[in-house]
Amino acid sequence: MLTFLPTFIRLPLALLLVALNVLVHGTVLLLVALIKALVPIAVFRRGISRLLIAIAEQWIAVNGMLFALFTRTRWVVDGLEGLRRDGWYLVLSNHQSWVDIPALQSTFNRRIPFLKFFLKQQLKWVPVLGLAWWALDFPFMQRYSRETLEKHPELRGRDKETTRKACERFRDLPVSVMNFVEGTRYTDAKHAQQNSPYVHLLRPRAGGIAFVLETMGDILQSAIDVTIVYPQGRPTLLDLLAGRLDEIRIHVRELPIPAELIGRDYEADPLFRERFQAWINALWAEKDALIAQQTVDAQLTRAAEIV
């Protein structure tokens, strides 16, 4: 533990080591991915894909060691029992901060198959990381506004096609398909703009999940519902590395995927769309109540420690 170091020393050192970790593992990933791209043999590529995932899991493990070394953050995680590394999962989570991604990766690393996120198209250009995500077959999504679609109707369905292609690749190896259902990070401004019916959450976007279940719902064994809570408020990555984040709470529960939600056309079937939205809205109502309870529990725990 290096938490005894003053922040002006500890934070730059932590940032340096995190950057080195990105550079080292990112470079190795890209070299292995280049070999995969050059050898068009299916069996060989599957083996290389396993190697790429092993490299990424080691990358995440080193990040976890750095968090433990430089921060005093307490991790309160429950619900991991019974999860397996050899299955196919749909992982659903709320989204509050950039800390969500390393928090989820640290929580599930080597406990379930490697998490594959649907990323915004713009993230492809993030130095090193964008190329690493490409090498790991993370799908990049281009979202269009309603105004853009009205002007260019030929763009309709592009996201669905991207989802379909990604899900076909995901059939080769066990995978955890990760979806931030709100589609964007929570902010008070977005919450007010949406007139969200939830206290702690934005409105869920059901379409992306429905497309995944339409394409590969037959092999997904269950859904993993994840609720991330930061009792002190939404942190930044700098808050985490600087030791300003006292606690992260992550509640996990494995849920069956209703059979009637699998393999149906969300866009073409209005009645199915209504049922699907009712299912995800019910999950979101439960998640909203859980965040409120977890926040109160964390406050009571801190108060008891002070006494």
Domain ranges for the chain, please list them. Answer: 73-306
Closest Cα to residue 175, out of 252, 251, 85, 254? 85
Answer for the pair 224, 176: CB distance below 8 angstroms, yes or no.
yes
For the chain, 307 residues long, give each residue's pLDDT as a single digit of tens.
778 888 888 999 999 999 999 999 999 999 999 898 888 888 898 899 899 999 999 999 999 999 999 999 999 999 999 999 998 999 999 999 999 999 999 999 999 999 998 777 777 788 877 888 888 888 777 665 566 656 766 666 666 677 777 777 788 888 999 999 998 999 999 999 999 999 999 999 998 899 889 888 889 999 999 999 999 999 999 999 998 999 999 999 999 999 999 989 888 899 999 999 999 999 999 999 999 999 988 888 887 777 6
pLDDT for the residue 283? 97
pLDDT for the residue 156? 66
Q: Which amino acid is at 199?
A: V
Q: Given the DSSP bridges, would you call strands 140-141 and 119-120 parallel, antiparallel or unpaired?
A: parallel
Element (H, E) at 25: helix 7-38
pLDDT for the residue 148? 65
- For the domain made up of 73-306, the CATH class stated in words is alpha beta
Classify residue 241 as left (phi > 0), alpha (psi -120 to 50) or beta: alpha
Residue 307, both tokens: 């006494």
pLDDT for the residue 152? 63
Element (H, E) at 156: none
3-state secondary structure of 266: coil
